[in-house]
Structure 1
Amino acid sequence: MAFLEAVPVPLVGLALGLVMLLDTVPILGILIPADVAILTTSGVTDPFSSLGWIIAGCLTGWSLSFLAGRFLGEHLRSSRFGDWIGAERWATADRVVREGGSRILVTAPFLPFVNTLVPLVAGGLRMPYGRFLRNAAIGSALWGGLYVGLGELAQQISGLLPTGDLTMVVTVALGLTFGWVALKGTRRLATVRD
């Protein structure tokens, strides 16, 4: 945290937006700990500024994926990249977008791995870009707002603790708890749907 406090706030925000953009890229997004980046920057940047960078990064990355799906969808599926993702994951993403329509874009940020494929599939299925962008903005705002809120909550709780700066410990504990609950809920929802 001390390192981040020495970095100019606009640079921290820009880095946060870049992390969000990279998090939306298929395959690469699995390796990017976007939620950890949001929690780590809590208290360093203004929460509304952080949320703005999160939404901008997510929408930029998702828009690029949408356009790739629109113009290269079939080619991507039949390429080595498509083989690496696997037919089952493509089929799951297709089913999720067809059944959920544009509403799935609101919940997609909460679904690991699927969130990187949904924009590609939406573009490939010729979803209107305006509808895609509107729902993607709502989803990224909800997802980002949740993590920014968790970070702010961790800041408040750590200020109440007598040992001083336990912000990182509280932040990680809240993040892991929320992550575990979200994972269990997602698995339960997937089991019910299957």
Structure 2
Amino acid sequence: MVISAPDGLGFLASAGPALVWLIVLSFVFIECAVILGLFLPGDSMLITAGIVLANHSSGTGHVWALSAGAMTAAICGNQVGYAIGHRTGNHILARRGGKYLNYTNLHRVNMLLERRGFWAVLIARWIPWVRTLCPLVAGAAKMNHAKYTVASSIGAILWAPVLLLIGFYGGSLLDRVPWLMPAVLTFMVVLLLIGTTVGVWHYRQEMARPPEEVAVEEVRD
């Protein structure tokens, strides 16, 4: 089982689907569970993984199995994020002057949960920075755990598998044009690597800012 990749991406050919599985499950879990996920390119990673698997001889079986795995990783990550928020109480440490982890964004998520509840958790899955902050704020705001679990699980089902399959079936169409697949695959992987590197750098910059305690209002059922 070998992935046909351009010379600059030879590591994909040697690693095969195992590397794709490792990256996808790690990124999805981190993005749903901890603050570092604010800075990771989760959506583009899932689409890129689908394209990579489309260029693999047994990609169909892998992409459906990975869709189930990514969905599970997202659900587990949501629960970990909720638990972390719940343990912090109603005060969350933000960063003074932070770009993402700041009072304004935490307050916005808190108000969204207060006004929309179930639907806010469902919709948050499709908004990158809200996707990471929502479990944390929901836990700190003592949102009903059963309602949160149902909403976040449905969101996970509609997020990770959908993006993976878009990448996979889109990649299958690209594969019909010999020169187009390597070009798109190279572009997507390079974009993912740059996005991850920049994201980690931004995370370090954000965490270096002075902490600021933000009070979270309890979400009424």
TM-score (norm 1): 0.74
Alpha-carbon offset, residue 7 of structure 1? 2.0
Q: Which has the higher contact order (CA 8 A, sep 6+)?
A: 2
* 1:111-146 deviations in Å (ceiling 9; x for gaps): 121111111121122223222222111111211122
> Does structure 2 conserve the Cα–Cα contact (< 8 Å) formed by 1:150 and 1:171?
no
| Higher-strand-fraction structure | 2
User: Cα–Cα, structure 1 residues 4 and 110, in superposed 2: closer, same or farther, change >3 Å?
Assistant: same
Q: Could you tell me which of 17, 35, 39 is aligned with 1:31?
A: 39
Residue 76 of structure 2 aligns with which residue? 60
User: Identity of aligned pairs, percent?
Assistant: 19
Which of 92, 105, 108 pairs up with 1:89?
105
Identify, as 1 or 2, the structure richer in helix: 1
Q: Is the 8 A contact 1:4 1:41 kept in 2?
A: no
Report the structure number with the largest CA radius of gyration.
Answer: 2
Q: Which residue number corresponds to residue 159 of structure 2? A: 143
Aligned counterpart, 2:144:
128
| Maintained 8 Å contact 2:113/2:120 | yes
The answer to whether the 8 Å contact 2:85/2:136 transfers is yes
- Structure 1 match to 2:22: 14
- Please say if 1:51 is aligned against 2:70: no
Q: How many corresponding residue pairs? A: 170
Distance 1:153 1:8, change over 3 A: closer
Residue in 1 that maps onto 2:11:
3
Q: Distance in 1 between matches of 2:141 and 2:132?
A: 15
Cα RMSD, aligned residues only? 2.6
Is the CA contact (8 Å cut-off) linking 2:30 and 2:37 kept in structure 1?
yes
Query: Residues 137 and 171 from structure 1, CA distance in 2 versus in 1: closer, same or farther, beyond 3 angstroms?
Result: farther
Q: 1:10 to 1:96 in 2, by over 3 A?
A: same
Corresponding letter in the other structure for 2:32? T
Is 2:120 the partner of 1:112? no
Greater CA drift, 40-49 or 137-146 = 40-49
Per-residue CA deviations over 1:154-184 (Å, capped at 9, x if unaligned) read 2221122253644735984xx9xxxxxxxxx
Aligned AA (1:161): V
Counterpart contact for 1:155–1:171, Cα < 8 Å: no
Decide whether aligned partners of structure 1 residues 117 and 164 sit closer, same or farther in structure 2, where only a CA change above 3 A counts: closer
Structure 2 spans left out of the alignment, 5+ residues:
192-221
1:155 and 2:171 equivalent? yes
What's the TM-score once normalised by structure 2's chain length?
A: 0.66
Cα pair distance change 1:153/1:167, threshold 3 Å = farther
Q: Give 5+ residue unaligned stretches, structure 1.
A: 176-194
